[in-house]
C-alpha cells in the first residue's frame, strides 16, 4: 500500500510517499524559515498562504521522485492537528480533495504521533513498549507507549517547551531565527560550568518540566553589569547542559517508574548532539537503549505523517464518514486510540 503523507501544521510544508512493502519512496520539504525570519517567529497568516503556494509543487515533485502517478496512491494521510488552524486547513483540504478525486481514503493523523513513531522509520527500529521523550517546538512530554495509538502521558512541561526555550534563549543572545540549532552550534565552542544556571524541577519528584525560568536566568546573566559578550559560547553551553541534564534525569525516572528499558526521543530538540550524547551514556550505564529518528526527520516532515498513517491503515484502521476537511488545532495525544481492528 502506497500512502501519500501531507504535513502543514506550522512552518514546514512536507510531502512524502511511504510504501508498506518498500518503505519510504520519497519525501520533499519546504521550510518557511526565510519567510518568518524577519518577524522573529511564525506569522500564521503568512504560513497558510505559503503552504497554498508550495503544496502543489511539492506534490508533483514527490510523485516524480517516487516514480509514481497520482493513480498509484492507495491512501492519503494528513496532519489534522495540533497546529495552526489556517496552516492545518491547507493540508487537510488538499489531502481530502486528492482522496475524493481518486476515490481513496484520507486519514487524519496526529502530528505528535508522527513525531513519536518516526524513530520506527530508522534502520534499527525500537520494539514496543517504550518510553517516548517528545521534545519539539511546542511540546515537552514523556509518554508510555504500549503500541500504536496507546499513549499514556507521564509528565510534561508546565510552561515553555524545550525547543521554545532554545529559541527564546537564542533570541535573547541575539542569535538568528530559529534559534535552537544556532544556539547548539555556538555551545560547541563554549565550556559549561563557567556560568551556573538552574536545573529547573530536577528534584520535583514528578515527571514534569519547567523551562521558562531558565530563559529568565539567562536574561539575568546577560543584563548584569559583569556580562561579557565574549563569553556567550560558555553561556550557551551551560544552557544546553542544563536542558539536557533535566531531560535526561526525567527520562530515566520515567523508565524506572514504568520498568521499561527502551527510550525513544522525537521532535526537533532530538537533533541536539549534546542531548544525544548525554542520553546515550546514561542509558548505556543502565543497560537500556535510546532510539532517535534520522536527523533529517527530527523536525517537521511529511515522511512521519505518511508513515504513521500507513501503520494505522495497515493495521486495519477504517476511515469513516462523509468526506470532510478535518482539523483539530488542539488535540491531546493521550486521547488517541489504537487502530480500530486492533481494539477489543
| For residue 253, cis peptide bond before it (omega within 30 degrees of 0) | no
Rule CB under 5 A: choose which of 80, 136, 240, 301 binds Fe ion: 136
Residue 264 among known ligand-binding residues: no
Integer Cα distance of 290 and 264 in angstroms? 6
Count Cβ neighbours within 10 Å for each residue of 76-113 and write b for 16 or more, e otherwise.
Answer: bbbbbbbbbebbbbbbbbbbbebbeebebbbbbbbbbb
Shortest Å, Cβ 287 to Fe ion: 31
Integer Cα distance of 336 and 148 in angstroms? 9
* Element of type H or E holding 14: strand 12-19
> 149, 342 in Cβ contact below 8 A?
yes
* 11 lines the binding site for Mg ion (CB under 5 A): yes
Cβ nearer to ligand ATP, comparing 7 with 19: 7
* 117 lines the binding site for ligand ATP (CB under 6 A): no
> 320, 124 in Cβ contact below 8 A?
no
Report 283-302 residues binding Fe ion (CB under 5 A).
300
Q: Which stretch binds Mg ion (CB under 5 A): 10-18, 147-155, 168-176, 311-319?
A: 10-18
Give the cell for residue 24: 519510504
Shortest Å, Cβ 317 to ligand ATP: 22
* 271 lines the binding site for ligand ATP (CB under 6 A): yes
Interacting residues of 161 by C-beta distance below 8 A, sequence separation 6+: 135, 136, 137, 138, 139, 140, 211
Integer Cα distance of 205 and 337 in angstroms? 29
Rule CB under 6 A: choose which of 108, 149, 267, 293 binds ligand ATP: 267
Shortest Å, Cβ 64 to Fe ion: 26
User: Which option in Fe ion, ligand ATP, Mg ion, none does residue 139 bind, with CB closer than 5 to 8 A by kind?
Assistant: ligand ATP
* 50 lines the binding site for Mg ion (CB under 5 A): no
Residues that bind ligand ATP (CB under 6 A): 9-10, 111, 115, 136-139, 163-164, 166-167, 178-181, 184, 267-269, 271-272, 299-300
Binding site as annotated, residues for substrate? 134-138, 167, 180, 272
**Positions at the binding site for Fe cation:** 111, 115, 300
Provide the binding-site residues for Fe ion, judged by CB under 5 A: 136, 300
Amino acid at each position: 500500500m502506497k500512502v501519500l503523507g501531507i504535513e502543514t501544521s506550522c512552518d514546514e510544508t512536507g510531502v512524502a510517499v511511504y510504501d508498506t512493502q518498500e518503505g519510504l519512496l520519497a519525501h520533499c520539504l519546504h521550510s518557511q524559515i526565510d519567510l518568518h525570519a524577519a518577524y522573529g517567529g511564525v506569522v500564521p497568516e503568512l504560513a497558510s498562504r505559503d503552504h497554498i503556494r508550495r503544496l502543489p509543487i511539492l506534490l508533483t515533485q514527490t510523485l516524480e521522485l517516487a516514480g509514481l502517478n497520482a493513480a498509484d496512491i492507495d491512501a492519503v494521510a494528513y496532519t489534522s492537528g495540533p497546529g495552526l488552524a489556517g496552516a492545518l486547513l491547507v493540508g487537510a483540504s488538499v489531502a481530502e480533495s486528492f482522496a475524493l478525486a481518486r476515490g481513496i481514503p484520507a486519514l487524519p493523523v496526529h502530528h505528535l504521533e508522527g513525531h513519536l513513531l518516526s524513530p520506527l522509520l530508522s534502520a534499527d527500529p525500537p520494539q514496543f513498549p517504550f518510553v517516548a521523550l517528545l521534545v519539539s517546538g511546542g511540546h515537552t512530554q514523556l509518554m508510555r507507549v504500549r503500541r500504536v495509538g496507546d499513549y499514556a502521558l507521564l509528565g510534561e512541561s508546565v510552561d515553555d517547551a524545550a525547543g521554545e526555550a532554545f529559541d527564546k534563549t537564542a533570541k535573547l543572545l541575539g542569535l538568528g531565527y530559529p534559534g535552537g540549532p544556532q544556539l547548539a552550534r555556538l555551545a560547541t565552542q563554549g565550556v559549561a560550568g563557567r556560568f551556573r544556571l538552574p536545573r529547573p524541577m530536577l528534584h520535583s519528584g514528578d515527571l514534569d518540566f519547567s523551562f521558562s525560568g531558565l530563559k529568565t536566568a539567562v536574561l539575568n546573566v546577560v543584563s548584569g553589569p559583569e556580562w561579557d559578550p565574549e563569553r556567550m559560547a560558555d553561556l550557551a553551553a551551560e544552557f544546553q547542559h542544563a536542558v539536557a541534564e533535566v531531560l535526561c534525569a526525567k527520562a530515566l525516572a520515567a523508565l524506572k517508574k514504568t520498568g521499561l528499558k527502551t527510550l525513544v526521543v522525537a521532535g526537533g530538540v532530538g537533533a541536539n548532539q549534546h542531548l544525544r550524547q548525554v542520553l546515550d551514556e546514561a542509558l548505556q550505564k543502565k543497560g537500556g537503549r535510546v532510539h532517535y529518528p534520522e536527523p533529517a526527520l527530527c523536525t517537521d516532515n511529511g515522511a512521519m505523517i505518511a508513515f504513521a498513517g500507513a501503520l494505522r491503515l495497515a493495521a486495519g484502521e477504517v476511515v469513516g464518514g462523509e468526506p470532510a476537511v478535518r482539523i483539530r488545532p488542539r488535540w491531546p495525544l493521550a486521547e488517541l486510540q489504537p487502530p480500530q481492528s486492533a481494539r477489543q
